[in-house]
Amino acid sequence: MSVRLKQDKPDTRNILDKTQQKVIGKPVSRPDGIAKTTGTAPYAAEYAIENCAEGVLVTAPFTRGEVTGIDASSVMDMPGVIAVIDDDRLTARPAQGTAAKAPAQPARKVGYFGQPIALVVAENFEQARDAARHLKVQYRADALSDVPLDPENAGAESQGGTRQGDLAHAMKIAAHNVDVTYRTHGHSSAAMEPHAAIAQWDGQRLTVHASLQMLKFNIAELADCLGLEEDDIRLLAPYVGGGFGSKLGISQETVAASIAAMALQRPVRVVLSRQQVLQCVMRRSETRQRLRLACDEDGRLIGFGHEARVSNLPGESFAEPVLQSSEFLYAGENRHLELELARIHRMTAGSVRAPGEAVGMPALEAAMDVLAEKADIDPVELRLRNLPEKHPASGLPFSSRKYAECLQEGARAFGWEKGGWQKGPRRPRQKKEGEWWIGTGMAGAARVHNVMEAKARVLLQPDATAVVQTDMTDIGTGSYAILRQVAAEMLGLEPEKVLVELGDTDFPRASGSGGSWGASSAGSAVFVACEDLRGRIAKLAGTSAEEISLKDGIASWHGGSLPLDQLLDGKQLEAEGHYQPGDITDDFTAAGYGAFFAEVRVNDFTGEARVNRMLGAFGFGRVLNEKTARSQCLGGITWSIGAALTEALLFDPVDGHLANCDLAEYHVPVHRDVPDLDVLMIEERDPVASPIQAKGIGELGMCGGAAAIANAIYNACGARLFEFPMTPDKVL
Ligand code: MOS
């Protein structure tokens, strides 16, 4: 596994390129790493709380209809049973995490198989689970049967898009064109830590240990749902075992534990089973995507069409934003992009790992490969010829874009052109080793850049150590390490001198972790707080912030130098940083870019496709920590492998239940599926992305990678497939 980091020229206008500590960007290990790997970091369900009762959710055994009665007496005599909580708020669907209000829905209505309808609370978990299985529920199924189970047959509403010029005409006059339709299946976030919550109510205030990504939003959702004020609630999530979108909003376990704790006046823990996580938390929508690409003799796009159909439950507003990066990635004056939303009865569709581009980019990049073949142009070259100078519809300039560099440097590092058997025009079925066809493929990556408002407090203590406090979460991404580095760099301290405390709503509220905005948003809040502290340190030294130099706990300025603790002279300095991004999308097109290169082998007899090696080259603004950034890239590429080859939510066509609701049946990649991965980071300074010039990293690795594998499957064995994942039955 190798990593190369190519650095942009330092931008001397940004203070992080002038500070002395030189710790920003370094591969600093996570301060939380040892606690996590030794099992001593407590996750939501793991707090030993006295007198804690155990709750198990009862879920709907039907797909659409209405609960007409819950017979608590059917289980109240069972051993250990304390209560059956039968509350309309339990049937609420999980929120999406970006709205302050939890979504409302008619009481007792069931919209999907596995939807929570009641909570059984008992003295221990086994008793609660047993009673939950025996609870008698009366219901009327099919009460909403005019809404179908299958998106193909459902009615759909347009969510808008872009129409420019005349795409049909461009397709007609094009030297080469493709008109292809792709299908992708639904995905599950499949976080390692199941959803869990422990709620405690002291009569005044509710304290909830939960596994959530965005506490600032989650506390608002929970307050709204329970009819409390935010001040009446404290949410704690210092460690989160993965989220991938499924914990952006509060979900049923948090609501159920809270309602039960308040009703029973005793702590209640609710942990979802793995099956419940898959069945009722949320899904990525399946998609159907039509790509129309038209180019001239030289491979220059004159027409670009991307139309997608996604689905959600009736009443839900989220529509998988499949076309997000297609809007600006490639040129083509005649454009038709349109998203439509079908209404079906599957669990709520929401943000799952790189919502939009995770499925939109693979379809686009697979279609680009078809076009490259038709036009007989190398796929890397085809992309290089079609980079627009500005956003093709809005005309907004790009804030920074290293797409060409990613394509070129990635191709070089992978050995795209000197692959031996790949000399000359690319043709399928050129190399075979035993019963395996070998092939290569590439694809581009793009993911819009998001930033969010964030606050953080930084305390510089008299002994010249610092404490960072914010409700920011670390969902396995490295927030503890990165925020420590930002503070250490700005205050001139060794990283070990900075303690980072996260995941507590009693701290200043940050962006949370989502949409790859966590590091740049929360990092900017810490940066702003430290800018303030630098000014105050300079004042103590009788100089200006521009003149002061801070390194290893020593302040130096023109004509003087003093250890920070002496300069502080017993004082503690405290600053709250408030980062409030302007709407950068008003003035710029901001995104991260990349390129994937894959070599696969495909078994001639079984159709099994395996990735031999894969490289991702990415340009995503300033790298704050080389090690955690690389880990994010590796994770993203791993998701790409899952999306390409194995991951699919499979619904029963008759009753609509999710058939593969555990990690044995829902196949995320395991070690055996993931070969040696190569990451090339092409660092850049994005002047508008955030004050620390960082863009999002986490999700980019999944935005197109599946197409590199799909294109390599075609190159290996000649099977041009139009459905992800490309399981052996489809390859054959
Ligand atoms: Mo991400 S799917 O916005 O956690």
Shortest CA distance to 198 belongs to which of 51, 337, 75?
51
Specify whether the CB–CB gap between 643 and 187 falls below 8 A.
yes
**393 three-state secondary structure:** coil
Q: Which atom of ligand 1 is nearest to the CA of 699?
A: 1
Four-CA torsion 592, 445, 184, 714, nearest 10 degrees: 180
DSSP H or E run through 287 = strand 287-295
CA distance 558 to 661: 65
CA distance 95 to 255: 11
Query: CA angle, 171 as apex, 168 and 172 as ends, to 5°?
Result: 90
Query: CA angle, 253 as apex, 250 and 258 as ends, to 5°?
Result: 85
Specify whether the CB–CB gap between 240 and 75 falls below 8 A.
no
CA distance 92 to 115: 9
Q: Which atom of ligand 1 is nearest to the CA of 351?
A: 2
Domain boundaries, the chain: 2-30+452-580, 353-450+586-731
Q: Do domains 2-30+452-580 and 353-450+586-731 have the same CATH topology?
A: yes
Q: What pLDDT is attached to residue 585?
A: 72
CA distances from 353 to 189, 204, 247, 387, 723 (A): 7, 37, 11, 26, 19
Specify whether the CB–CB gap between 397 and 474 falls below 8 A.
no
- How far does the centroid of ligand 1 lie from the alpha carbon of residue 175, in Å? 40
Task: Give the mutation target among 215, 359, 699 for probing the ligand 1 site: most ligand atoms within 8 A of CB.
Answer: 699
Q: Which residue has the tokens 């521009």?
A: 546
Query: How many H-runs (helices) and E-runs (strands) does the chain carry?
Result: 15, 29
- How far does the centroid of ligand 1 lie from the alpha carbon of residue 624, in Å? 20
- How far does the centroid of ligand 1 lie from the alpha carbon of residue 189, in Å? 9
Q: Which atom of ligand 1 is nearest to the CA of 353?
A: 2
The alpha carbon dihedral of 523, 529, 531, 533 has a sign of: negative
The single-letter DSSP state of residue 702 is: G
CA distances from 681 to 281, 318, 383, 444 (A): 34, 32, 19, 14
Query: CA angle, 190 as apex, 92 and 638 as ends, to 5°?
Result: 145
- How far does the centroid of ligand 1 lie from the alpha carbon of residue 693, in Å? 21
Q: Which residue type does 293 have?
A: L
- How far does the centroid of ligand 1 lie from the alpha carbon of residue 123, in Å? 35
Q: Which residue has the tokens 């999700």?
A: 699
Question: What tokens does 271 get?
Answer: 């942990």
- How far does the centroid of ligand 1 lie from the alpha carbon of residue 607, in Å? 33
Q: What pLDDT is attached to residue 99?
A: 44
Q: Which residues of the chain have pLDDT under 70?
A: 1-13, 92-107, 143-146, 418-424
Shortest CA distance to 25 belongs to which of 34, 16, 33?
16
Cβ neighbours for 100, distance < 8 A, ≥ 6 positions apart:
217, 220, 221, 224
Cβ neighbours for 190, distance < 8 A, ≥ 6 positions apart:
244, 277, 278, 663, 666, 668
CATH of domain 353-450+586-731: 3.30.365.10
Ordered DSSP codes for 189-214: ---SSPPEEEEEE-SS-EEEEE--S-
- What is the tens place of the pLDDT at every residue in 136-180? 999 998 755 667 778 888 889 999 999 999 999 999 999 999 999
Task: Give the mutation target among 351, 448, 449 for probing the ligand 1 site: most ligand atoms within 8 A of CB.
Answer: 351
CA distance 136 to 383: 60
Cβ neighbours for 153, distance < 8 A, ≥ 6 positions apart:
none
- What is the tens place of the pLDDT at every residue in 80-127? 999 999 988 887 655 554 444 555 566 688 889 999 999 999 999 999
Q: Does the domain spanning 2-30+452-580 belong to CATH 3.40.50.720?
A: no
Q: Which atom of ligand 1 is nearest to the CA of 352?
A: 2
Shortest CA distance to 283 belongs to which of 184, 360, 179?
184
- Which residue in the list 66, 286, 647, 699 is annotated as catalytic? 699
Q: Which atom of ligand 1 is nearest to the CA of 243?
A: 4
Ordered DSSP codes for 508-543: PP---S-TT-HHHHHHHHHHHHHHHHHHHHHHHTTS
Rg (CA), the chain: 27
Q: Please report which residue ranges of 2-101 form alpha helices under DSSP H.
A: 33-37
Q: What pLDDT is attached to residue 100?
A: 43
Specify whether the CB–CB gap between 348 and 314 falls below 8 A.
no
pTM greater than 0.90 (yes/no): yes
- How far does the centroid of ligand 1 lie from the alpha carbon of residue 245, in Å? 4
- How far does the centroid of ligand 1 lie from the alpha carbon of residue 149, in Å? 26
Q: Is 699 annotated as catalytic?
A: yes
**73 three-state secondary structure:** helix
Ordered DSSP codes for 413-469: HHTSTT-STT-SS--SS--EETTEEEEEEEEEEEEE-----EEEEEEE-TTS-EEEE
Q: Which residue type does 139 have?
A: Y
What are the φ/ψ torsions at residue 647 (nearest 5 degrees)? -80, 125
What are the φ/ψ torsions at residue 230 (nearest 5 degrees)? -60, -35
- How far does the centroid of ligand 1 lie from the alpha carbon of residue 520, in Å? 15
Q: What pLDDT is attached to residue 142?
A: 77
What residues does ligand 1 touch, defined as CB less than 6 Å away?
213, 243-245, 248, 351-353, 355, 514-515
Q: What pLDDT is attached to residue 134?
A: 98
Specify whether the CB–CB gap between 355 and 284 falls below 8 A.
yes
